[in-house]
Amino acid sequence: MAERFYVTTPIYYVNDVPHIGHAYTTIAADTIARWHRLCGRDTRFLTGSDEHGQKVMRAAEKLGRTPQEHVDITVQRFVRLWETLDIKYDDFIRTTEPRHQEVVRGFLQQLHDKGELYPKDYSGWYSTSAERFWSNEEVAAADGRCPDSGQAVEWITERNYFFRMSNYQERLIAWIAAHPQSIQPESRKNEVLGFLRKPLEDLCISRPRARLSWGIPLPFDEDYVTYVWFDALSNYVSALGPVGGEQHQRYWPADLHLVGKDILTFHTVYWFSMLFALGLEPPRQVYAHGWWTIKKEKMSKSVGNVIDPEQLVSVFGVDAVRYFLLREIPFGYDGDYSPEAALLRFNSDLVNDFSNLVHRIVKWSDTPLGAPGPLGQAEAELLAVAARATAGFRDQIERYQFRAALESLWTLVSAGNKYVDTHAPWALAKAGNTERLAEVLRALRETQRIVVSHLACVCPGACTRVLARLGLDAPDLRVRFDVLPGGSTVRPGDPLFMRLDSEATLAALGALPGAPPAPPPSPKKETPVSEATPAPTPAPATITYDDFAKVALRVGIVLSAEKHPNADRLLVLKVDVGEPEPRQIVAGIAKVYEPETLVGKRIVVVVNLTPAKLRGVESQGMLLAAGGSDVASLLTPLHEVAAGSIVK
Ligand code: MSP
């Protein structure tokens, strides 16, 4: 049977509004799961929601809902966000589901029967916000408030059930020593070991029902409900069905619990002890990643600095958001979010490097590949770069070092772009060197295939589109230049990513939390031209059809585009309008489009304007664009009609 891989995210509090911190863990887990699936492993990816507790109960009361009605509504925020972010989980567990509650009650009964649970009177500082007791010292160190939330704490005395966690201190230390990979990164493992140097206390695992009714009742004392963390941690096992059942045998112990650093102690000290007591093996690894901060501060609803992933997606698109979050900070470390950094990554890595590699040879989409043959020196060198880049990618992604993995893959993206520059397919085509052109195209299309096959776990949408254009219905990780069949062509398509204008993008991203989201910016514009609020234009005077018919409009395909030698605002294009020679057209679109993103684009051209010189360069026609003097977008036909097609 294929090797298996079981990966989980924390189950999120349904009461919270999801932000990029939540999205981060889930995108990372999804990327890992997609990678393992791609490598042919029997992969299971679990996420879910944490739905019990005092906060949920209070929020529901405030809104006049039952807690169940409330969580049924709020859980949808997460379900919808995961859909938006292209998260392909195998299971979504909710702690209010009967399948989960049954397992938790079974665990509690088993521990009770074994004498692992006992009742005791307990007094302590209770924090409603953190849903836990704190010791005197902890509260004193936090100026008399909850060390987690900074909110008020109450002194409470009550009888509760305790789990004999203290019995497991030695075993925990021994387990971690014998399984050095079980907690990662190393620095986090050392934190846990540091925590275990102090005597471990028993864990209070119940709450009196009189104070908190929204929880799973203890099976042996219905006056109590289960402590939320005991309830929540059990999800990783309960989602596999009954212990000893088919799914459980197949996937437990989990290979990876991905968590934020804030909940590491729960996932190691508490969870491993619970599993020891239940006679189950701990997960093979708990990996704690760092936190996204905003201007070095924690994201929080009350501060109002929460970044909404939906808004980022509306500006950049889902693939770019996934790429940015994984590329920007080394996994395991904290990192500061800034819209400027997101924009820079987008325009440089995705537009200039990746999209460019895919798009700049689109013009020769119809050129069939020759049969694979022996590689020339340049092709062998490119393949060697591919081998190194993908080995690095594989190695780093399996250690969850997404940034290093992507950096490694980008060495191939850059080498591919350089190869295009050096072996100039346009020059080969012009010289009629079709044999060499076919070789160069093979190397480039195979390079594209290798890049997008690997990148598909991070940017699934864009990569699937490129694979489809190459005629493939799934990624193919083979690092060879003889995979695409001889005779194959490529379906041309639009650029994957279009350059975004800084001002308009930053304005859209800088929208205050809670304010209506700014409209997504359109591709690069000189001055913001908002599609949402077009400036009123005076009604034009009418003309006869004969007047209109005087303008000859044709579909053109951009063959090349470069900067005008004497004007920043202008680009000089060569456009095929179906005539024996391409037209040279000078257009004021340099602030809106990078020249290389236009190659292969279909546009609309006025072909019967008297030629004119624009800053010393002759223009033999005019392009149609929306936006008046502030160009917002070139016009392009919906379908891939031939160059020279009449437009009327
Ligand atoms: N319900 C518990 C988890 C129970 S798991 C058995 C919980 N939920 S949570 O919704 O508050 O957050 C869960 C996770 O979201 C964190 O562990 C972390 O993975 C992620 N993040 C929340 N804020 C974050 C940042 N600011 N940055 C990065 N990730 C953070 O805790």
Element (H, E) at 442: helix 434-455
pLDDT of residue 173: 98
* Mean pLDDT (whole number) for 386-391: 98
Give the pLDDT score at 536.
Answer: 36
Does the C-beta of 10 come closer than 6 Å to ligand 1? Answer: yes
**DSSP character string of 288-332:** EE--EEETTEE--TTTT-PPPHHHHHHHH-HHHHHHHHHHHS-TT
CB 381 within 8 A of CB 340: no
**Residue at 565: amino acid letter:** P
Our answer on whether the CB atom of 24 is closer than 6 Å to any ligand 1 atom is: yes
C-alpha 18 to ligand 1 mean position (Å): 10
Distance from residue 73's CA to the centre of ligand 1 (Å):
20
Please, what are the domains in the chain? 338-505 (1.10.730.10), 545-647 (2.40.50.140)
Entry pTM: 0.79
* Rounded distance from Cα 41 to ligand 1 centre (Å): 27
Q: Tell me, what's the pLDDT at 518?
A: 47
Tell me which residue of 140, 27, 36 sits closest to 85, measured CA to CA.
27
Give the three-state DSSP class for 613: strand
User: How many Cα atoms within 13 Å fall on the side-chain side of residue 13?
Assistant: 17
Ligand 1: nearest atom to the Cα of 235 = 6
Q: How confident is the model at residue 630 (pLDDT cuts 50, 70, 90)?
A: low
421-452 residue pLDDT tens:
999 999 999 999 999 999 999 999 999 999 99
Residue given tokens 């042996």 in the structure block: 220
Task: Give the residue whose CA is nearest to atom 12 of ligand 1.
Answer: 12
**pLDDT given at position 532:** 29
Checking if the pLDDT of 520 tops 50, the result is: no
Average pLDDT over residues 29-47: 98
Angle of helix 502-509 relative to helix 309-316, nearest 10 degrees, comes to: 160
3-state secondary structure 178-217: HCCCCEECHHHHHHHHHHCCCCCCCEECEEECCCCCCCCE
Helices (H), 39-86: 54-62, 67-84
User: What is the structure's pLDDT at 289?
Assistant: 97
pLDDT class of 514 with cuts at 50, 70, 90: very low
Q: Where are the alpha helices (DSSP H) in 90-167?
A: 98-113, 136-141
The radius of gyration of the chain from alpha carbons, rounded to an integer in Å, stands at 30
Give the model's pLDDT for residue 544. Answer: 65
The reply to whether omega before 217 is within 30° of 0 (cis) is no
What is the chain's length? Answer: 648
Cis peptide before 282 (omega within 30 of 0): no
Nearest CA to ligand 1 atom 21: 21
Structure tokens at 62: 């405030």
Section 73-89 average pLDDT: 97
**Tokens describing residue 302:** 């009350």
Pocket probe for ligand 1: among 7, 104, 263, 265, the residue whose CB has the most ligand atoms within 8 Å is 263
What is the three-class DSSP state of 596? helix
| 292 ligand 1 Cβ < 6 A | yes
Task: Report whether pLDDT(118) > 60.
Answer: yes
Whole-number Å distance between alpha carbons of 120 and 168:
19
Per-residue pLDDT at 535 exceeds 70:
no
434-466 per-residue burial string, b: 16 or more CB within 10 A, e: under 16:
eeebbbbbbbbbbbbbbbbbbbbbbbbebbbbb
Out of 110-119, 132-141, 196-205, least confident range = 132-141
DSSP line for 236-281: HHHTT-STTSHHHHHHPSPSEEEEEGGGHHIIIIIHHHHHHHHT-P
3-state secondary structure of 161: strand
Helix/strand/coil (H/E/C) assignment for every residue in 573-618: EEEECCCCCCEEEEECCCCCCCHHHHCCCEEEEECCCCCEEECCEE
Output the average pLDDT for the chain: 91
User: Does residue 27 have its Cβ closer than 6 Å to ligand 1?
Assistant: no
Task: Determine which residue's CA is closest to atom 17 belonging to ligand 1.
Answer: 260
Distance CA 146, CA 138 (A): 8
Atom of ligand 1 lying closest to residue 25 CA = 19
pLDDT, residue 524, reads: 34
What's the CA-to-centroid distance between 37 and ligand 1, angstroms?
A: 25
For residue 627, pLDDT beyond 80:
no
pLDDT at 527 over 60: no
With cut-offs at 50, 70 and 90, classify the pLDDT of residue 645.
confident
Decide if pLDDT at 521 tops 70: no
The residue contributing the CA closest to ligand 1 atom 10 is 12
Task: Please report the pLDDT score of residue 642 as a whole number.
Answer: 78
Please check the confidence at residue 538 and state whether its pLDDT lies above 50.
Answer: no
Nearest to 125 by CA among 151, 156, 149, 147: 156
Q: The tokens of 418 are what?
A: 């350089």
DSSP class of 375: -
Residue 622, SS3 per DSSP: strand
Please, which pLDDT band fits residue 234 given cuts at 50, 70 and 90?
Answer: very high
If pLDDT is split at 50, 70 and 90, which confidence band does 537 have? very low
Q: Which protein residue has the closest C-alpha to ligand 1 atom 18?
A: 260
Neighbours of 397 (CB within 10 A): 24
Ligand 1 pocket, residue 297 CB under 6 Å = no
pLDDT tier at 247, thresholds 50, 70, 90: very high
548-597 pLDDT tens trace: 888 899 999 888 899 888 888 889 999 988 887 889 999 988 878 888 88
Residue 344 has pLDDT above 90, yes or no: yes
HEC states along 323-362?
Answer: HHHHHHCCCCCCEEECHHHHHHHHHHHHHHHHHHHHHCCH
Is pLDDT of 29 > 90? yes
Q: Taking residues 252-266, report their average pLDDT.
A: 97
Instruction: Report residue 230 as tokens.
Output: 């005991």
- Decide: 75 in ligand 1 pocket, CB within 6 A: no
429 membership: H or E segment, kind and range? helix 425-430
Confidence of residue 20 (pLDDT cuts 50, 70, 90): very high
